[in-house]
Amino acid sequence: MAMSVGDKGEDAPMSDINTTPLVDIMLVLLIIFLITVPVVLKTVSLKLPDVVFEPTTTKPENVNLSVRSADTDGDGEPNADSSACEVYWGQTPVDSKQLLDLGQKKLEKLIEDIGGVQNITEDNFPEVHIRGDVNTPYQCIGGVIYTMQYAGFQKIGFISEPAAGSSTLGRL
C-alpha cells in the first residue's frame, strides 16, 4: 500500500484524487460492453434489394386485376364501415367465384395452347398484376391473392406508381 507524504507540511489538505477505483470500474464496464455488443448485434446476413422502380414488362398472357373498396355513397370516398370490395378482371367487374373460375380457365387454356403441362416454362407462365387502391383494406387484396393462388397462379405482383421525381433507370 502506498502512502502519500505531503511536501507542504503535515497539516496541509491532500488535493490529489485517487483514480484507481475509477479506472477499475471503467475497465469492468468496457469488458462487459465488449462481451454484450456482439451478442446484441448478431443478425441474419441478408442482401436487401436496392429500391429502384423497374418498368413492368406486360405480356399478353398476364392477368391484370384492379381492387378497390366498394363505394356505396357515390362520393368517390370509400365508406369506413364498408368491407365490400370491387375486383375487376381487366375492365370487367367480377366476384370471388367468377375470379376463381376465370383464373382456372385461363390456366387450362394456356396448358392446352402450349401442348401440356410438360411444356410450361417460367417465360410462358402468366403472372397476376394487382393494382390496389390506396384506401383498400388488406382483407380485400389478400382475398384476391389467395383466390389467384388457389386458381394455380404462382407469380403475383403489385403495380404501383413511382414516387414523384424518382428514376426508373437505376444507378448510373
pLDDT in tens, 5-42: 555 567 777 778 888 999 999 999 999 888 877 766 65
Residue 103 CA to residue 63 CA, distance in Å, equals 8
Query: What are φ and ψ of residue 40, in 5° steps?
Result: -70, -35
Confidence (pLDDT) at 43: 55
Confidence (pLDDT) at 36: 79
Full-model pTM: 0.59
Cell 462481451, located at residue: 35
pLDDT, tens digit, for every residue of 39-92? 666 555 545 445 456 666 677 788 889 898 876 454 555 555 556 888 999 888
The CATH number, out of the four listed (3.40.50.2000, 3.90.1720.10, 3.10.150.10, 3.30.420.270), of the domain defined by the range 63-72+81-158: 3.30.420.270
Please report the beta strands in the chain, taking only residues with DSSP state E, as ranges in sequence order.
63-69, 85-89, 92-94, 128-132, 156-158
pLDDT, tens digit, for every residue of 130-147? 888 878 888 998 999 999
Confidence (pLDDT) at 46: 47
Contact 153, 104 (CB under 8 A): no
Contact 67, 128 (CB under 8 A): no
C-alpha cell at 162: 413511382
